[in-house]
Amino acid sequence: MMETTTQANETQFNQQYYSDELTQFAESWKDDEGLMTLLNFITPKVPVARRFDYKKTDHNEMFFSEVDDLRNQGSGFKRIEFTGTTVQAKTLNKGLTVRVDTDDIVGEDWQERYVHLLMKRLLRNELRRAVWALKMNATVIEKTWGANSQPDIDIRETLLQSSDLNGFYPNRVLFGELAWYLRQDCYALQNNAGARISSEMTRANLAEKLLVDDVQLLRKQSLGVQGSEINGNEIFAFYGQNGLLKDEPSHMKRFVTPIENNQLFRVYVEPHTKFVDVTVEHYSNIVVTSPQTITQLTVKQQA
């Protein structure tokens, strides 16, 4: 009876205070800090129902190829089945509310500006969770870089070590901003043309050199003040793919549940006598889905 009453109250709240206009704004919201891009880079987005299951499995299976995919007359095709442990999970309801005093309401777009604030906070929260999960599930390799170091060789060795552990080569590399600057400084101190070229490489150039799909930069400010456990001298190597299945071989995934009409966020505006509550909610769960190893190269500057 309690659950039925709670659901009825929630439905009534949704109908009374739900804002379709602001929900549409949230869905098309311009992410000027690139938080969503970075979040999807670390934890690819996978739409699921509220309750779902996934397999913790040997994701080498995703890289298999068949020699027996020919169909015999009168029979069906060979069926692909994924092995491993099935894990039951659910997406979690997350959100934030900001209370706006009526004396502080200025301009016709005030609601959009507060939704903008809430969207940034929610994505920063998700990004912090994703980076922390990455760090907590990583095998750490430590290196000291100085004027005579070759950072890109160390990074390549880290990628190869990850490949040996996983059975497949990582395709994504995430630099902490301090690690990125240390890499540039090492090459800048070396007085030769090759080092100069390496020092001035863009992340896209470095990705091509390392044979990975993408290299991204994580700034500590993107995690907020609660992200102080990330030092910035970490380099993470892992595997990720966007837009595939819940059992594909990404090390981590962000399972999301669309609320309605494939919308991932919903906005409510609840007016009171002298203030207004603006709320943004969503459903997600960040999960390390692969038991294979994420690799973390931790670097420090030579004294």
- pLDDT tier at 74, thresholds 50, 70, 90: confident
What are residue 290's phi and psi, to 5 degrees?
A: -110, 130
- Residue 260, pLDDT score: 79
Provide the Cα torsion 289, 124, 34, 155; round to 10°. Answer: -50
Q: What percent of the chain has pLDDT over 90?
A: 64
DSSP track, 96-109:
EEEEEEGGG--STT
Section 252-260 average pLDDT: 92
**pLDDT tens readout for residues 129-179:** 999 999 999 999 999 999 899 999 999 999 998 888 777 889 999 999 999
Cβ burial, residue 32 (10 Å; 0-12/13-18/19+): exposed
Cα four-point dihedral sign 211, 213, 218, 224: negative
Give 238's strand partners. 172
Choose among 272, 267, 302, 25: nearest CA to 143.
Answer: 302
Class of residue 110 by CB neighbours under 10 A (exposed 0-12, middle 13-18, buried 19+) = middle
Residue type, 151: P
Over residues 50-62, the pLDDT tens digits come to: 999 887 755 555 5
Tell which wins on pLDDT, 23 or 79.
23
| Helix/strand/coil (H/E/C) assignment for every residue in 280-299 | EEEEEEEEECCCCCEEEEEE
pLDDT score of 6: 53
Neighbours of 47 (CB within 10 A): 14
3-class SS shares of the chain: helix, strand, coil, % to 5: 40, 30, 35
pLDDT at 121: 95
C-alpha closest to that of 215 among 202, 224, 226, 227: 202
Q: Which residue intervals of 137-257 are DSSP H helices? A: 151-166, 177-188, 193-199, 203-210
pLDDT of residue 222: 85
Domains of the chain: 19-59+83-301 (3.90.1690.10)
pLDDT band at 242 (very low <50, low <70, confident <90, very high): confident
Beta strands 172-176 and 214-218: pairing type?
parallel
Rounded to an integer, the average pLDDT of 114-119 is 97
The reported pTM is 0.85
Of 141, 137, 135, the closest CA to residue 156 belongs to: 141
Calpha distance 303→299 (Å, rounded): 12
Q: What single-letter amino acid sits at 296?
A: Q
State the pLDDT confidence band at 41, using cuts at 50, 70 and 90: very high
Per-residue pLDDT, averaged over 275-294, amounts to: 90
Q: What angle do CA 117, 119, 123 make, to 5 degrees?
A: 120
Q: What is the pLDDT of residue 225?
A: 63
Question: What mean pLDDT value characterizes the chain?
Answer: 87
Alpha carbons 91 and 285: distance in angstroms, whole number: 5
275, β-bridge pairs? 101
- DSSP for residue 260: B
